[in-house]
Amino acid sequence: MKECNQCGKCCINYSDGGLSASASEIAWWEIFRPDIHQYVSDGEIWMSPVTGKQLQRCPWLQPLPGQNKYSCSIYHDRPDDCKYYPVTIEQMRNDQCEMLEVRDLAKPGQAQKTLDKLMLDSRPPVKN
């Protein structure tokens, strides 16, 4: 498995309604990050503060100038859905994650163990 190359596919694939935030995350944003909270409507995230409609792309995903890479401008305060990604090798395969290598696809069980180790600090482990 390769290191993340910041291709942004995960953020692009899920930012148009595929993500959620817990009530506690939303409450925290309301108090400490009103700039984030303005993109929340009725518990749904990444809603336009102007129209109230779902945005097609996460407002915090920023292209890096002159590169085919992205960064998250709320990285430390992003929702747990973002922190926990990727969860499974199957999810990564479906999303065409560029971290995957041919050997990961050939041995998904071993690749899942590697992924779980990589993500120890980001998310709870996957229960098999």
Could you count the other beta carbons within 10 Å of the beta carbon of residue 31?
A: 8
* Any domain includes 45: yes
Strand partners, 54: 47
Question: pTM of this prediction?
Answer: 0.83
Given this model, what pLDDT does residue 121 score? 82
pLDDT per residue rounded down to tens, the chain (128 residues): 998 899 999 899 888 888 999 999 999 999 999 999 999 999 999 999 999 999 999 999 999 999 999 999 999 999 999 998 888 999 999 999 999 999 999 999 999 999 989 888 887 655 65
Residue 102 lies in a domain: yes
Domain that holds residue 89: 9-118
Say which residues have a Cβ less than 8 Å from residue 5's Cβ, sequence separation at least 6.
Answer: 69, 98, 99
- Structural domains in the chain (count): 1
pLDDT in tens, 50-74: 999 999 999 999 999 999 999 999 9
Nearest residue to 14 via CA among 68, 54, 58, 59? 58
Six-digit token pair at 68?
Answer: 């085919």
Please give the pLDDT value at position 28: 98
